[in-house]
Amino acid sequence: MANPHLELLKSKLDDANYQKLAAIDNERLHEFVADAVQLCEPDAVRVATDAPEDMKQTRQMALDLREEKALTVDGHTVHFDGINDQGRDRAATKYLVPPGDTLSKALNQVGREEGLAEVRGLLKGTMKGRTMAVRFLTLGPNKSPFSISCVECTDSFYVSHSLDLLYRQGYEELKRHGADGRFFAILHSAGKLDDRMISVEEDKRRIYIDHSVDKVYSVNTQYGGNTLGLKKLALRLTIRKADREGWLAEHMFLLGVQGKGGRKTYMAGAFPSACGKTSTAMLPGEKILGDDIAYFRAIDGRCMAANAESGIFGIIQNVTAKDDPTIWDVLHRPGEVIFSNILVKDSTPYWLGMGQETPEDGENFSGQWHKGKTNAKGAEIPLAHKNARYAVALHALANCDPELENPAGVELSALMYGGRDAKASVPCQQGFNWQHGIVLYGASLETETTFATIGKEGVPEINLMSIQDFLAIPLGKYIQNNIDFGAKFEKAPLVFGVNYFLRDADGKFVNGVRDKHVWIKWMELRVHGEVDAIKAPTGLIPRYEDLVPLFEQTLGTKYMEADYVKQFTIRVPENLAKLGRVEAYHREHVSGSPQAVYETLAATRKRLEEAKAKHGDYISPLDLMA
Catalytic center residues:
275
Q: Which is nearer to ligand SPV, 156 or 273 (CB)?
A: 273
Report the distance separating Cα 144 and Cα 134, nearest Å: 23
The residue whose Cβ lies closest to ligand SPV is 225
Stretch that binds ligand GTP, among 114-122, 172-180, 299-307, 311-319 (CB under 6 A): 311-319
Q: Which is nearer to ligand GTP, 436 or 521 (CB)?
A: 521
Report the distance separating Cα 389 and Cα 162, nearest Å: 12
Q: Does 500 bind ligand GTP (CB under 6 A)?
A: yes
Q: Which is nearer to Mn ion, 68 or 292 (CB)?
A: 292
Q: Which is nearer to ligand SPV, 24 or 465 (CB)?
A: 465
Cβ neighbours of residue 184 closer than 8 Å, sequence gap 6 or more: 139, 148, 149, 150, 151, 214, 215, 216, 229, 230, 234, 237, 238
Q: Which is nearer to ligand SPV, 119 or 270 (CB)?
A: 270
**Complete DSSP assignment for 153-170:** EES-HHHHHHHHHHSEE-
The H or E element that residue 10 is part of is helix 4-12
Q: Which is nearer to ligand SPV, 387 or 429 (CB)?
A: 387
Interface residues toward Mn ion, by CB under 5 A: 273, 292
Which of Mn ion, ligand GTP, ligand SPV, none does residue 231 bind to, with CB < 5 to 8 Å depending on kind?
A: ligand SPV
Q: Does 496 bind ligand GTP (CB under 6 A)?
A: no
The count of residues interacting with ligand GTP (CB under 6 A) is 20
Amino acid identity at 483? I
Kindly write out the interface string for residues 122-161 of this chain, putting x where it contacts ligand GTP by CB under 6 A and - elsewhere. Answer: ----------------------------------------
| Residue among 217, 365, 501, 585 that touches ligand GTP (CB under 6 A) | 501
Q: Does 564 bind ligand GTP (CB under 6 A)?
A: no
Give the burial string for 394-418 (b: 16+ CB within 10 Å, else e): bebbebbbebbbeebbbebbbbbbb
Q: Does 277 bind ligand GTP (CB under 6 A)?
A: yes
Contact 86, 457 (CB under 8 A): no
Q: Which is nearer to ligand GTP, 518 or 597 (CB)?
A: 518
Q: Which is nearer to Mn ion, 157 or 167 (CB)?
A: 167
Least separation in angstroms between CB 319 and ligand GTP: 8
Least separation in angstroms between CB 191 and Mn ion: 24
Which of Mn ion, ligand SPV, ligand GTP, none does residue 211 bind to, with CB < 5 to 8 Å depending on kind?
A: none
Cβ neighbours of residue 261 closer than 8 Å, sequence gap 6 or more: none
Least separation in angstroms between CB 609 and ligand SPV: 36
Contact 26, 34 (CB under 8 A): no
| Residue among 509, 592, 609, 625 that touches ligand GTP (CB under 6 A) | 509
Cα 479 versus chain centre, distance: 19
DSSP-derived 3-state class of residue 611: helix
Least separation in angstroms between CB 131 and Mn ion: 29
Which of Mn ion, ligand SPV, ligand GTP, none does residue 500 bind to, with CB < 5 to 8 Å depending on kind?
A: ligand GTP
Query: Pairing state of beta strands 367-370 and 361-364?
Result: antiparallel
| Residue among 58, 160, 189, 273 that touches ligand GTP (CB under 6 A) | 273
Q: Does 291 bind ligand GTP (CB under 6 A)?
A: yes
Contact 226, 218 (CB under 8 A): yes
Q: Does 600 bind ligand GTP (CB under 6 A)?
A: no
Nearest residue to 554 (alpha-carbon basis) of 254, 259, 253: 259
| Residue among 86, 126, 317, 575 that touches ligand GTP (CB under 6 A) | 317
Contact 95, 211 (CB under 8 A): yes
Q: Which is nearer to ligand GTP, 84 or 318 (CB)?
A: 318
Least separation in angstroms between CB 387 and ligand SPV: 8
Kindly write out the interface string for residues 434-463 of this chain, putting x where it contacts ligand GTP by CB under 6 A and - elsewhere. Answer: ------------------x-----------
Nearest residue to 161 (alpha-carbon basis) of 331, 332, 338: 338
DSSP-derived 3-state class of residue 70: strand
Interface residues toward ligand SPV, by CB under 6 A: 88, 224-225, 231-232, 273, 292, 313, 452
DSSP-derived 3-state class of residue 277: helix
The H or E element that residue 308 is part of is none
Q: Does 513 bind ligand GTP (CB under 6 A)?
A: yes
Q: Which is nearer to ligand GTP, 228 or 572 (CB)?
A: 228
Which of ligand SPV, ligand GTP, Mn ion, none does residue 291 bind to, with CB < 5 to 8 Å depending on kind?
A: ligand GTP
**Complete DSSP assignment for 537-592:** TTEEE--HHHHHHHHHHHH--PPPHHHHHHHH-EEHHHHHHHHHHHHHHHHHH-TT
Contact 310, 391 (CB under 8 A): no
Least separation in angstroms between CB 308 and ligand SPV: 12
Cβ neighbours of residue 468 closer than 8 Å, sequence gap 6 or more: 106, 462, 475
Least separation in angstroms between CB 222 and ligand SPV: 12
Contact 131, 42 (CB under 8 A): yes
DSSP-derived 3-state class of residue 232: helix
Which of Mn ion, ligand GTP, ligand SPV, none does residue 88 bind to, with CB < 5 to 8 Å depending on kind?
A: ligand SPV
DSSP code for 285: T
| Residue among 94, 297, 302, 516 that touches ligand GTP (CB under 6 A) | 516
Strand partners, 45: 132
Which of Mn ion, ligand GTP, ligand SPV, none does residue 551 bind to, with CB < 5 to 8 Å depending on kind?
A: none
**What residues make contact with ligand GTP under the rule CB under 6 A?**
271, 273-279, 291-292, 314-315, 317-318, 452, 500-501, 509, 513, 516
